[in-house]
A and B are shown apart, each in its own frame.
Chain A
Amino acid sequence: MTDFNENSKVEKKSSGQADINSVPFTEVEQPGPAPLASQAKGFWVTFSSMFKKNQTVQYPDVKAPTQPRFHGRHQLNRHPDGLEKCIGCELCAWACPADAIYVEGGNNTPGNQMSPGERHGAVYQINYLRCIFCGLCVEACPTRALTMTNEYELADDKREKLIFEKEDLLAPLRQGMLAPPHPMYPGMTDTNYYNGDVKEAHPSQGAK
């Protein structure tokens, strides 16, 4: 492969010095200014825009709905009888690339049954100053306990307020649910829970 300058016939100036202008080139025609009529088109664009419907959403008054799968605030889900789905496995915390989740697991005892099976999440915190809403925690969750809602209004005036605790994240109690702790559905194992055999709370679960 030959050097570019080797082939070119560079005419050196009389002084013998090659300057920047001695690089071989041919002039290329420039398009030049467009005719006035086409230059005036831009003025028509801005003028006619004045009479078009504007795109602004009057945000605090009008809230535009998000896309259905928008990544908003997290939610800790419950089984249909009210027991928590979270088993305190910390897979979400390990999956989190921003280190935003802190979990401490705890044992389920007969007097303190928070979730089906042996373990429950005793402490569950998500730091929304760190969270990047990537959803890897949701993918990591083995019990579908952690999902995301469409809620996006997460601004606040104190850093502490943006560390959400378990009670901030837990899904509300729906029809047929009982607030834990309470025993598991009579005659059901945790496997039955995951298979969806439990449809609602049994009256005996609420008895003290």
Chain B
Amino acid sequence: MTTAELLAQDPVWLIAVKALIVFIICVIATLLAVWTERRVLAKMQLRTGPNRVGKFGLLQSLADGVKLALKEDIIPAAADKIVFILAPIIATSMCFMAFAVIPMTGEVSIFGQQTALQLTDLPVGVLYILAVTSIGVYGVVLAGWSSGSTYPLLGGLRSSAQVVSYEIAMGLSLVAVFIYAGSMSTSDIVGSQHDNIWNAIVLFPSFVIYVISMVGETNRAPFDLAEAEGELVGGFHTEYSSLKFALFFLAEYVNIIAVSALATTLFLGGYHALPGLGFTESWLGGWFTLVWFFAKVIFFFFIFMWLRATLPRLRYDQFMKFGWKVLIPVSLIWILIVATLRVLQQEGASRVAIISFAAGIVILVMAASSLMERNKQKVRAPKAEGEAPDFPIPSLPQVQSINVSGEK
């Protein structure tokens, strides 16, 4: 029985219970994620991080949430009131909705009913997630526009441009997964990886592109141009305070968890155990798969934290150049290769033909990159003795000469 058929048998009360569970998981995961991020980031910067509220400071984010809720709620005079209030609600609710199609466990029993911890299983589940997360961007854009202030407007504009360009790269990186798994349903994709190797290894370029674009998609460092503190004060949420700000905060972290969960589902085998540890999946009546799922999500979340601790923010033009001139062309070429291989496989081409095609691609790539390398070396060849300037110049790395006289 497939997961879709299994979920179709759910009574209404069970669907309500699962919706509640998904909501609670998201909120608690956010609280823990904020705490984890602050502690891990502190560790990476030789600090301690919050350690006062509760054991190890575990209740710090809860205390911050209460503090935020009790603060004065300001709506600027220049703001468009309705949109201003609507924006954080859109941003937050859409993030939660993305979680509906993520399969978090295998077959388990909830109050005696056999089911899986997944709210619903759409045949186009991954497309649904892409659609919902891009509606979430409306929250950011509308927040920037409705604040009636310059910095939020700039932040909102940046954010829309950013998410549009990285959404393309993200979508293209997923196409390879669809081609390979033959389905867009999240549970089918998890199932297809169970019998084979994880997509992260088979479709490694897609995996890398997805991980990069998911950071861009969630407005996180080093791609946090939408809320760049140094340039735009707080970006789109500059004018927000109190609970509305808390909603944006919640949306950001739920979004991070959602894209990490999607990465887990599509590339790291979802709720399934690591290869060779398959026997653990039946522990606790199947509930142990939830542990595997969250272990993988935490792995991605750690990457988020690590990037934030290590990399400075990109300049806006570099960021756009990277998205349009590197990520998108690379994923297009990669899709072409994957599609060709897949068709060759389905047409019943001989193994030799497939392997020789793959080998041909590898040789082409290597040849191209070595040509590039040789061109670079030519450019960097040291200049002849006589051309050296007759005045002393400071020794810069890889700069042979600076001609300031303007004569050839």
Using a CB–CB cutoff of 8 Å, the interface residues on chain A facing chain B are 7-9, 24-26, 28-29, 31-32, 42-43, 45-47, 49-50, 52-56, 58
A31 touching B400, Cβ below 8 Å: no
Instruction: Find chain B residues with CB under 8 A from A52 CB.
Output: 46
Would you list which residues of chain B between 350 and 404 have a CB under 8 Å from chain A?
A: 376, 379-380, 396-400, 402-403
* B311 at interface, CB cutoff 8 A: yes
A50 in complex: contacting residue of B43, B48, B380, B402, CB < 8 Å: B43
B48 touching A54, Cβ below 8 Å: yes
A8 touching B406, Cβ below 8 Å: yes
B306 in complex: contacting residue of A24, A32, A43, A58, CB < 8 Å: A43
A-B pairs, top 7 by smallest CB distance, nearest first, are: A24-B406, A56-B48, A26-B403, A46-B44, A50-B43, A46-B309, A8-B406
* B282 at interface, CB cutoff 8 A: no
B310 touching A42, Cβ below 8 Å: yes
Q: Quick one: given A46-B44, A47-B44, are A31 and B397 in contact (CB under 8 Å)?
A: yes
B398 touching A56, Cβ below 8 Å: no
* B407 at interface, CB cutoff 8 A: yes
Q: Within the complex, what minimum Cβ distance (angstroms) separates B202 from chain A? A: 22
The 26 sampled A-B contact pairs (Cβ below 8 Å) are A7-B406, A8-B406, A9-B406, A9-B407, A24-B406, A25-B406, A26-B403, A26-B406, A28-B402, A29-B399, A29-B400, A31-B399, A32-B376, A32-B398, A42-B311, A47-B44, A47-B306, A49-B43, A49-B45, A49-B46, A54-B42, A54-B43, A54-B47, A55-B46, A56-B47, A58-B48
Q: Within the complex, what minimum Cβ distance (angstroms) separates B257 from chain A? A: 22
Q: Within the complex, what minimum Cβ distance (angstroms) separates B317 from chain A? A: 15
Query: Can you list, as one digit per residue, whether each of B36-50 has a CB less than 8 Å from chain A (1) or not (0)?
Result: 000010111111100
Instruction: Find chain A residues with CB under 8 A from B400 CB.
Output: 29
A29 touching B398, Cβ below 8 Å: yes
Per the bound structure, the CA–CA distance linking A58 and B407 in Å amounts to: 63
Q: Within the complex, what minimum Cβ distance (angstroms) separates A42 from chain B? A: 5
Per the bound structure, the CA–CA distance linking A8 and B404 in Å amounts to: 10
Instruction: Find chain A residues with CB under 8 A from B310 CB.
Output: 42-43, 45-46
Q: Within the complex, what minimum Cβ distance (angstroms) separates B315 from chain A? A: 14
Per the bound structure, the CA–CA distance linking A45 and B48 in Å amounts to: 17
Per the bound structure, the CA–CA distance linking A29 and B380 in Å amounts to: 8
Closest to B40 in A: A50
Closest to B400 in A: A29
Per the bound structure, the CA–CA distance linking A32 and B399 in Å amounts to: 11
Per the bound structure, the CA–CA distance linking A31 and B311 in Å amounts to: 19
Instruction: Find chain A residues with CB under 8 A from B40 CB.
Output: 50
Per the bound structure, the CA–CA distance linking A56 and B182 in Å amounts to: 53
Q: Within the complex, what minimum Cβ distance (angstroms) separates B399 from chain A? A: 6
In this complex, which of B42, B44, B403 has the most chain A Cβ atoms within 10 angstroms of its Cβ? B44
B46 in complex: contacting residue of A24, A43, A47, A54, CB < 8 Å: A54
Instruction: Find chain A residues with CB under 8 A from B47 CB.
Output: 54-56
Instruction: Find chain A residues with CB under 8 A from B306 CB.
Output: 43, 46-47
Per the bound structure, the CA–CA distance linking A82 and B174 in Å amounts to: 85
Q: Within the complex, what minimum Cβ distance (angstroms) separates A30 from chain B? A: 8
Q: Within the complex, what minimum Cβ distance (angstroms) separates A95 from chain B? A: 40
Per the bound structure, the CA–CA distance linking A56 and B43 in Å amounts to: 10
Q: Within the complex, what minimum Cβ distance (angstroms) separates A64 from chain B? A: 14
Per the bound structure, the CA–CA distance linking A50 and B40 in Å amounts to: 7
Instruction: Find chain B residues with CB under 8 A from A54 CB.
Output: 42-43, 46-48
Instruction: Find chain A residues with CB under 8 A from B380 CB.
Output: 29
Closest to B48 in A: A56
Closest to B408 in A: A26
Instruction: Find chain A residues with CB under 8 A from B396 CB.
Output: 31
Given A46-B309, A52-B46, 17 extra CB contacts under 8 A: A7-B406, A25-B406, A26-B402, A26-B406, A29-B379, A29-B398, A32-B376, A42-B310, A46-B310, A47-B44, A53-B46, A54-B42, A54-B43, A55-B46, A55-B47, A56-B46, A58-B48
